[in-house]
Structure 1
Amino acid sequence: MLDPVAPPKSDTTVEFCLNGRTTAVSAAPASRLSKVLRDELRQTGTKVGCDAGDCGACTVLVDDEPVCSCLMAVGQAEGRSVTTIEGLAHHSPNAARLQQSFLDHGAAQCGICTPGMLVAATALLDRNPAPTETQVMDAIGGVLCRCTGYRKIVEAILAVRQAPAAAPMPEAGSAVGSRVVRLDGLRKVNGTEIFGADEWPADALLLRAVRSPHHRARFRFGDLDAFVAAHPGIVRILTAKDVTGENCFGVIPAFADQPVFAETEARFRGEAVAAIVGEAEAIEALDLSEFPVTWEELPASTTMDAALAEDAPLVHQGRPGNVLVRGRVVRGDVDRALAEADVVVEGLFETGFVEHAYIEPEAGFARRVGNRIEVQACTQAPYMDRDDIARVLGLAPEDVRIIPTAVGGGFGSKLDLSVQPFIALAAWLLRRPVRMTYTRPESIMTTTKRHPARIRARAGATRDGRLVGLDFTGDFNTGAYASWGPTVANRVPVHASGPYLVPHYRALTRAVLTHLVPAGAFRGFGVPQAAIAQEQLYDELAGRLGLDPLEFRIANALTDELPTVTGQVLGKGVGIKACFEALRPHWKRARAEAEVFNAAAKGTLRRGAGVAGMWYGCGNTSLPNPSTIRVGLKRNGRLSLHQGAVDIGQGSNTVITQICADAIGAPLARFDLVSADTDITPDGGKTSASRQTFVSGKAAELAGRELRKAILRLANAGDGARLLFEGDRVTVEDGGQRWTIALSELPLDEHGYVLTGEATFDPPTSPLDENGQGDPYAVYGFGAHMVEVEVDLELGLVKALKITAAHDVGKAINPMLVEGQIEGGAAQGLGLALMEEFLPGKGENLHDYLIPSAGDMPPVESILIEDASPVGPFGAKGIGEQALIPTAPAILNAIFHATGVRIRRVPATPSRVREALAAVHSRG
């Protein structure tokens, strides 16, 4: 733990009881209680996600009542009792039971909302020991979660009065497949986990960015030196001229185009043009309206149509036009196939910007250590950060150290740099630590979004229900800079067929530059948008042919021996048909129940059930994608796992350890995790594209097997030998013989271990040719969702009643964590379908931008299919990205079943549903 932060000077002392002890603190009475708790009393378990009472992460008990501490002045706490997560277990016996129940049920994923959830749930149980599910949902309704989908949280609260289930660590060799509680879970439930905004050196300066208020504007600065002189406590103002290396960064090196600071022209609302660095009190008191910058608003391309117009202003200097990149996959003769098809359907589909809305805003600090820079921040990609910061500062990569904190949700946006270049540059130049935390409006305004899409597609089938062709064109609004636009444009054409045999296929995509916030990676990389189009068209084909939508999909589903649209024959591990077949009994029940309900309905409510399938390639598209893992055996008999795969809530800290343990044949309890740090962990690659369980997990399996071989060599034992870890000794049993290795007597290797296993895994893929033919991914995950909905025909309101989700995960390394990913993904899919759309310049908060709350999420039944991949670790595939993809199209298909109306622009808000219903009614 770093030095505590010195409190600001104040003549006012506020006294209250904090976690059972009388506390006096010097603070302005109007200061937010949340800020005083965190910054001055170091109760950092209380999280701040919005400073507006919208997210509930800062919930504490005040006189035993849950309160958003960001909305309460510390002066209001005078003489009262305040309980934070740090003291909750001592305050109430229900809290301790809740913490264990959260662990047992997998209710804490990233952990950023967990303290608020536990505080709210404790208050409920203290007044009502046996609440109903509805009462639980009401109690936690003010605390938002973006990871779990809420269902495991609700289950954990309802189960707290039951005797805790015994969950001992699995025996050696049986970790894979076990419902192991998160190995890092205790820190999440007791409030000790360190996130980006939770620690910094006591002498750290604070940094605040100056950002463009316009979508596009030319600007010039006034007298910056005079501004500094007029504001005591400000140390320096940084602009583009202060960048010591290249004033650009980007997640894809060939498309690294985003400046740290705009130089003469800002290309989107929120782009940084300068940074003010100084003492915290001075920075927090700043009125940026006084900052000496003059803006000249310029014509802006804020739609793709505007950007593609012949006279559109160039968004990106140096590029011919505003098309950043094109994607293409073509197979067969789609024009002829559709001309000869018995039935053809077509449609135009649109999606908007979607905000990641993780509860943790971007945060971190940087400090200069000699001629090196260290950055501690929330990130999904430490080695990518290292390379970008080295570029910006003009340093060698080895002179940059990235230390990831715990990440309070990521979903793709924390792959891109946020605070890192600002604080690194300031700390480098000023030789003092510098910290920065985004406000919620700043986070929403400036960080990457899901790409808005405009998709036109035609699909055809034969009379007997066989797909013959799909013609797909998609434009994706990538905003002002590249970010992951090239990845989306190239991934979508591979996936836009869905997991079906489509003999004749053409998919053409464009990533289009506009003067809007950059769009980047977001759980699915464009595939969810494509699925909304393709899965609705396939439903329409089934309807036109008089076929059951589920059976139509089963008849066309890929199998081991059928080629994909890139010509790849996947071989073993294609479980999509099994996923659909697992839904059959649920489908028959749900469709029949909906028909009975609707036949008897006298009011405005109608019910429907819809289905959709998905597939998703794990990792990069036809590009190298390696991970390296190191495991070392220490003299005390414990194992250090150097695991650079950042856990953003998906569970990689636990899952990769389970894999490594079984590869060695060692007990899981013997492992010490050395988390991601570019100085001490090998490059585990970025946490994205459902690659960590598959790629880093495979590297962990190989590294574990290398260490096992090294141990066996010491005893000259065979591969089938059994290892027994006992204190500082390892016993090898083989064929009735035993050898004991005294670890304390062995020399240490260059890593400081007795023995080390290290391995790199790079999935086998091949480049795509000019028509997109080749092997873009080594492993695909598959899945199918069925959603039951209720639609109010008068209000246009759609309510999800149940989600049934079947996923082929190859091998469920940890079934509890797999379920958590499915439920969390389904919640984000529900948001995509029904409520989420970001309009740049509007709704830059969690009050106006709606994400699902506990009351919006229906029960989720997960069905795990294990069609093992011959490539993945113990047969495993990824699951994180896939879980989101089929939910939205399944909901849209369910709306059609309930109402006969197709919604082709999402989200399907009540106004859009009512408009569609009215249009159908007007046509008779």
Structure 2
Amino acid sequence: MLDRVRTVDAGPEIAFTLNGRDVAVVSSPAARLTTVLREDLGHTGTKVGCDAGDCGACTVLLDDEPVCACLVAAGQAEGRSVVTVEGLATHSPNAERLKAAFLSHGAAQCGICTPGMLVAATALLDRNPTPTESEVMDAIGGVLCRCTGYRKIVKAVLDARATPAQADPPAAGKAVGARIARLDGERKVSGTEIFGADAWPADCLVVRAVRSPHHRAGFTFGDIDAFVAANPGVVRVFTARDVPGENRYGVIPPFADQPVFAERAARFRGEAVAAVVGEPAAMAALDLNRFPVTWQELPANTTIEAALAEGAPLLHEDRAGNVLVRGRVVRGDVEAALAAADVIAEGEFETGFVEHAYIEPEAGFARRVGDRIEIQACTQAPYMDRDDVARILGLAPEAVRIIPTAVGGGFGSKLDLSVQPFVALAAWHLNRPVRMVYTRPESIMTTTKRHPARIRARAGATREGRLVGLDFFGDFNTGAYSSWGPTVANRVPVHASGPYHVPHYRALTRAVHTHLVPAGAFRGFGVPQAAIAQEQLYDELADRLGMDRLEFRILNALAPDQPTVTGQVLGEGVGIRACLEALRPHWRRAREEAAAFNAAADGHLRRGVGVAGMWYGCGNTSLPNPSTIRVGLKRDGRLSLHQGAVDIGQGSNTVITQICADALGAPVARFDLLSGDTDVTPDCGKTSASRQTFVTGKAAELAGRGLRRAILRLANAGEAAEVVFEDGAVTVRAGDHARRIALADLPLDAHGYVLTGEATFDPPTSPLDADGQGIPYAVYGFGVHMVEVEVDVELGTVKALKITAAHDVGRAINPTLVEGQIEGGAAQGLGLALMEEFHPGRGENLHDYLIPSAGDMPPVQSILVEDASPVGPFGAKGVGEQALIPTAPAILNAIHDATGARIRRVPATPDRVRAAILAAKSARG
């Protein structure tokens, strides 16, 4: 039977075979195949990440050959076979084995690239059942992933034929520590997961933003009514005057300063000044260059130096000298300590903007439901979105509902609003559903970046190798609006010492406004930039003392009874020394191998080994940080877990269920997960700062234990009793006695359950005083990365050969997911070190902005150290943020080890490496 679909576009009938079934679509032959597959035929498993053939998320099989469907015109499919991820299982016997291998190895994290990876890998295995690692990398090299670090994907493809079927979920009480597959993994590998651009009502209007082409510009509107009248299908144009509430939002309420629409002047390239809403066909054809707006380009501060210069244009009248906020941590007398030090190392360091480059662009839709607004979108912070949208629309927060979709990567940028204000405003006024999907250039142009930093630092040590002091100063370019600038400015001084005992310390920071895209949250909140400085200085101190660089760090590693630079004594759970010591045999082996290679080499290749440590406070800095979890026992004997922590690929859907299951004493298979919806789940806070496993996980543990106690009370049993969950009943056993409680006739509580456990956890912290002394975090994670590199000293190219990563995670709730975070973080750290830098106004695509591909990532060996936190759930700490921090400084130290050249400006591109090598040779000669 032939499936016929008529699209809104006029055109001929295009017939082809889709997943083994004949279909026909009336469409323009020039339409993208991705558009036809997704919007006309409903096959949304094929993802769109760039529409330029750069990311490979839209890979399909065209006559059994993998192609980027965004580069294939619909007319090219005429009479041919197209296979998408939805049809892989019936197309190839290799597909089901691959899916099982992906789940077993944790090769699908956020899942946005997974369909493209599976299609490309299936094509490889169909023609070559036993590929080499190099052949696998070549086959998937055209598909970008920002989450996994590729290594688990490569291993899954290599092991696809040998991977057994998934094991049964662990028994009750055995979930924590088990390598269970993601509970949402099947949806990711089948292509059925719903992301921001995958589902909306059929009658949705489309919104597109009119954005500034200049870094700073005044503007005036022409005849907007005439523009609407001249463009059939355009329904309305919205500007700042149409915002019914406050025309501003922001992630930190005292600094909520970003407008939905600029008023009178735009402060960065890409800032929205208006939004045009209309029917999909009209909006697709609309040329926004014809929108009636006149721009007056104005002088702009595009560097920190320009922003701080006398007479520089102010972005905010209430912020003197364009300084948003200052951070400060001071302990002891650093000037006296450095004056008395036996050795000193000092330097200036600089980092640039770094793009998040998640493969899923921002997307979602909104609809008005009576006097409420509902938004379905990709977000890391549903309750923050709810409160901001309520402020913008002038509504009570309860009148706004946020329904998070699956998030195709976030890393911090999806903490900030993107499409939400535009679709909400339009849907509210028009009483029709409205959708919006950012283009890749729009996403890169307008969304937050990692803060560029200028850092000066000076460190000193005794001749015995003991650190005596560190003096650190950093300016961070926070762009035109605040975003997470205050968080970065305050987090960096706490962390800039590294995980070492530094008795005398001064760290001062400034977040500085410029007329550039706002910088915001990005995996590490400024700590990766600080680590690039501090870890290179510590290497220099060790070299000047003639000490082994790893042993220098072991000697100075923070001990449980030593105060941090904020005066906090952590006590139990300080695993940095264990991480460093775990690297000793790997360090010796790598150093010996590099020395042997260099001794034998007579050409232009040199090998080096670098090491760097890190620590990272889980959660907000000295601020309330609560999460609430609810778990309910249903009459059928199943358990509903109301878990509002958004899973952006890190695995919170799975990990928090594992924690709750063991706390309750129930098998994971008994749980039904309710995620993220602000009408359904309590507030679990934002997914950021490595807080969900720690904070929400602890709330889940407490809620599970609370429900267990309620069941025991119902059975009049003591704490030692065993609870067995059955269909329609629970049985409580204590010694030789057992009581079976039928659930069908028991009354329901206010939540609709037989019994409910609900708990809130807020980590114990204290405010910092004027010198930054206090308890900023309840728990820190620790880690060390060792990187082996090969440098072409003639070309300046750097190749990472292996990464060995030791991380103290307190307790590995799910070791497979922990390893995935380490490998993914290491990949982003490699990009920070060697290739990634965004220049506003240039390179607003994934062709010019380079991120690591499969061929760039070396093997990663993860060493999991479990120095349990007395506060965390089952001892667990966060790992997502910390996994990125030590990679870049370890690479930079390895480059120095290989060449003698120091890289003070990242990324270490070939031209910079070559220049540094020549400068080092000149200094020596």
> TM-score band, normalised by the shorter chain?
over 0.9
Could you tell me which amino acid in structure 2 is paired with residue 578 of structure 1? A
Matched with 1:696 is: 696
Residue correspondence of structure 1 range 356-505 to structure 2 within 5 A: 356-505=356-505
Matched with 1:516 is: 516
Distance 2:317 2:422 in 1: 23
Matched with 2:886 is: 886
Could you tell me which amino acid in structure 2 is paired with residue 477 of structure 1? N
Matched with 1:257 is: 257
Could you tell me which amino acid in structure 2 is paired with residue 650 of structure 1? Q
Matched with 1:550 is: 550
Matched with 1:720 is: 720
2:615 match: secondary structure: strand
Per-residue displacement from partner, 1:495-554 (whole Å, max 9, x unpaired)?
Answer: 000000000000000000000000000000000000000000000000000000000000
Distance 1:622 1:558 in 2: 21
Could you tell me which amino acid in structure 2 is paired with residue 817 of structure 1? L
Per-residue displacement from partner, 1:532-580 (whole Å, max 9, x unpaired)?
Answer: 0000000000000000000000000011101000000001000000000
Matched with 2:98 is: 98
Could you tell me which amino acid in structure 2 is paired with residue 126 of structure 1? D
Per-residue displacement from partner, 1:384-430 (whole Å, max 9, x unpaired)?
Answer: 00000000000000000000000000000000000000000000000
Matched with 1:23 is: 23
1:891 match: secondary structure: helix
Contact 2:626 2:684 survives alignment (8 Å): yes
Matched with 1:560 is: 560
Per-residue displacement from partner, 1:635-676 (whole Å, max 9, x unpaired)?
Answer: 000000000000000000000000000000001100000011
Distance 2:605 2:744 in 1: 72
Matched with 1:687 is: 687
Structure 2 gap segments, 5+ residues each:
none
C-alpha displacement at 1:6, in angstroms? 7.8
Distance 2:219 2:599 in 1: 64
Matched with 2:35 is: 35
Contact 1:787 1:800 survives alignment (8 Å): yes
Residue correspondence of structure 1 range 805-884 to structure 2 within 5 A: 805-884=805-884
Matched with 1:181 is: 181
Could you tell me which amino acid in structure 1 is paired with residue 214 of structure 2? H
Could you tell me which amino acid in structure 1 is paired with residue 876 of structure 2? A
Distance 2:508 2:590 in 1: 37
Matched with 1:209 is: 209
1:321 match: secondary structure: helix
Per-residue displacement from partner, 1:196-240 (whole Å, max 9, x unpaired)?
Answer: 000111110000000000000000000000000000000000000
1:138 match: secondary structure: helix
Residue correspondence of structure 1 range 196-275 to structure 2 within 5 A: 196-275=196-275
Per-residue displacement from partner, 1:696-734 (whole Å, max 9, x unpaired)?
Answer: 000000000010000000111111111111211100011
Distance 1:169 1:37 in 2: 35
Distance 1:762 1:736 in 2: 40
C-alpha displacement at 1:829, in angstroms? 0.2
Per-residue displacement from partner, 1:741-790 (whole Å, max 9, x unpaired)?
Answer: 10112111110100000000000000000000000000000000000000
Per-residue displacement from partner, 1:338-364 (whole Å, max 9, x unpaired)?
Answer: 000000110000000000000000000
Could you tell me which amino acid in structure 1 is paired with residue 53 of structure 2? G
Matched with 1:70 is: 70
C-alpha displacement at 1:11, in angstroms? 3.4
Residue correspondence of structure 1 range 188-199 to structure 2 within 5 A: 188-199=188-199
Contact 1:5 1:201 survives alignment (8 Å): no
Distance 2:917 2:137 in 1: 31
Contact 1:721 1:733 survives alignment (8 Å): yes
Distance 2:646 2:819 in 1: 20
Contact 2:474 2:509 survives alignment (8 Å): yes
C-alpha displacement at 1:823, in angstroms? 0.2
Structure 1 gap segments, 5+ residues each:
none
1:682 match: secondary structure: coil
Contact 2:100 2:166 survives alignment (8 Å): no
Per-residue displacement from partner, 1:804-863 (whole Å, max 9, x unpaired)?
Answer: 000000000000000000000000000000000000000000000000000000000000
Distance 1:587 1:720 in 2: 47
C-alpha displacement at 1:617, in angstroms? 0.1
Matched with 1:782 is: 782
Matched with 2:167 is: 167
Could you tell me which amino acid in structure 2 is paired with residue 398 of structure 1? E
2:469 match: secondary structure: strand
Matched with 1:739 is: 739
Contact 1:5 1:39 survives alignment (8 Å): no
Distance 1:802 1:122 in 2: 27
C-alpha displacement at 1:289, in angstroms? 1.4
Contact 1:554 1:581 survives alignment (8 Å): yes
Matched with 1:705 is: 705
Structure 1 runs (4+) greater than 6 angstroms displaced: none
Distance 2:468 2:204 in 1: 63
2:474 match: secondary structure: strand
Matched with 2:668 is: 668
2:680 match: secondary structure: coil
Could you tell me which amino acid in structure 1 is paired with residue 13 of structure 2? T
Contact 2:645 2:696 survives alignment (8 Å): yes
Contact 2:5 2:24 survives alignment (8 Å): no
Matched with 2:529 is: 529
C-alpha displacement at 1:365, in angstroms? 0.1
Could you tell me which amino acid in structure 2 is paired with residue 668 of structure 1? V
C-alpha displacement at 1:316, in angstroms? 1.9
C-alpha displacement at 1:599, in angstroms? 1.1
C-alpha displacement at 1:128, in angstroms? 0.1
Could you tell me which amino acid in structure 2 is paired with residue 304 of structure 1? I
C-alpha displacement at 1:166, in angstroms? 4.8
Contact 2:100 2:165 survives alignment (8 Å): no
Matched with 1:773 is: 773
Per-residue displacement from partner, 1:2-27 (whole Å, max 9, x unpaired)?
Answer: xx998314231100000000000011
Distance 1:300 1:882 in 2: 35
Tell which deviates more after alignment, 912-921 or 747-756: 912-921
1:884 match: secondary structure: coil
Matched with 2:913 is: 913
Distance 1:234 1:256 in 2: 32
Matched with 1:334 is: 334
Distance 1:21 1:889 in 2: 53
Distance 1:456 1:599 in 2: 36
C-alpha displacement at 1:735, in angstroms? 2.0
Could you tell me which amino acid in structure 2 is paired with residue 833 of structure 1? A
2:318 equivalent to 1:312: no
Could you tell me which amino acid in structure 2 is paired with residue 31 of structure 1? A
1:102 match: secondary structure: helix
What is the TM-score with the length of structure 2 in the denominator?
0.99
Contact 1:6 1:202 survives alignment (8 Å): no
Could you tell me which amino acid in structure 1 is paired with residue 642 of structure 2? H
Could you tell me which amino acid in structure 2 is paired with residue 15 of structure 1? A
Contact 1:212 1:271 survives alignment (8 Å): yes
2:148 equivalent to 1:151: no
Contact 2:57 2:144 survives alignment (8 Å): yes
Per-residue displacement from partner, 1:301-351 (whole Å, max 9, x unpaired)?
Answer: 000000000110011233222000000000000000000000011000000
C-alpha displacement at 1:143, in angstroms? 0.1
2:602 equivalent to 1:605: no
2:599 match: secondary structure: helix
Could you tell me which amino acid in structure 2 is paired with residue 183 of structure 1? L
Matched with 1:46 is: 46
Distance 1:625 1:890 in 2: 32
Per-residue displacement from partner, 1:601-642 (whole Å, max 9, x unpaired)?
Answer: 111000000000000000000000000000000000000000
